[in-house]
A and B are shown apart, each in its own frame.
Chain A
């Protein structure tokens, strides 16, 4: 069974840093596109970042330079390092497994339950 389990969210002060984790099971993360998507309270979905099987990453303009996505193949785990946190980064952060059937870039087949990051003093 495919499962994705995010953790690491919490209350953080503006300017602080946080690392989110996503442990996956039922498949091998390093062989798949993996993506982070966030959702501010009461708002829509926002694509954040992606990592492919070769380790190539891409980021939304809104987080480029502050967010770093990485992967630990031995732990089948994804990470999202978030630096210089701002109030507008407050959101539920989802990790998701991508698929490219009939597409060049990945869409999101399996999702975790999300972890909430709150940025506030």
Chain B
């Protein structure tokens, strides 16, 4: 089974900062990686699919990059409403799996 390791598990940043979250896969998954945002008490929301494609309606400050085993979610210009936990998911094969999450706090 494919394991995903996210880092950091927690980060604190100021409004306007550039934030990067990493997701490492235990084997090559091409670009079959997705990113979600989960706000407190809410269901997750799709942000990025196929590693670098922005989901419709998601602000352009969010972007994804990477392929193979190394992936990055970037938030360019952190906003107060970005307070959330971010998860990566691999969809290269079954069983699918999620990373452990990165909680983003606003300073």
Q: How far apart are the CA atoms of A43 and B96 in the complex, in Å?
A: 17
CB–CB A108/B36 < 8 A? yes
Nearest B residue to A98 via CB reads: B91
List chain A residues, Cβ under 8 A from B101.
44-45
List chain A residues, Cβ under 8 A from B92.
104-105
CB–CB A107/B49 < 8 A? yes
Q: How far apart are the CA atoms of A83 and B64 in the complex, in Å?
A: 39
Give per-residue flags for A14-49: 1 if the beta carbon is below 8 A from chain B beta carbons, else 0: 000000000000000000000101000000111100
List chain B residues, Cβ under 8 A from A102.
31, 49-50, 53
Q: Say what secondary structure dominates the interface of chain B.
A: loop
CB–CB A45/B50 < 8 A? no
CB–CB A112/B43 < 8 A? yes
Contacts A104-B32, A105-B32; A44 near B43 (Cβ below 8 A): no
Contacts A44-B87, A45-B101, A102-B49; A107 near B34 (Cβ below 8 A): yes
CB–CB A103/B49 < 8 A? yes
List chain B residues, Cβ under 8 A from A47.
89, 95-98
For chain A, which range describes its interface: under 10, 10 to 19, 20 to 34, or 35 or more residues? 20 to 34
Answer whether residue B68 sits at the interface, using C-beta atoms and an 8 A cutoff: no
Within A79-113, which residues are at the interface with B (CB < 8 Å)? 94, 99, 101-109, 111-113
Give per-residue flags for B69-107: 1 if the beta carbon is below 8 A from chain A beta carbons, else 0: 000000000000000010101011111111111000000
Q: How far apart are the CA atoms of A11 and B92 in the complex, in Å?
A: 35
List chain A residues, Cβ under 8 A from B44.
37, 45, 94, 108, 111
Q: How far apart are the CA atoms of A62 and B93 in the complex, in Å?
A: 16
CB–CB A107/B89 < 8 A? yes
CB–CB B46/A108 < 8 A? yes
List chain A residues, Cβ under 8 A from B50.
101-103
Most buried by A among B49, B91, B97, B101: B91
- Taking Cβ atoms with an 8 Å cutoff, the residues of A that contact B are 35, 37, 44-47, 50, 58-61, 94, 99, 101-109, 111-114
In the complex, besides A44-B100, A58-B94, 12 extra interface pairs with C-beta distance below 8 angstroms are: A37-B44, A45-B36, A47-B98, A50-B96, A94-B43, A101-B49, A102-B50, A103-B49, A104-B91, A106-B91, A109-B55, A112-B43
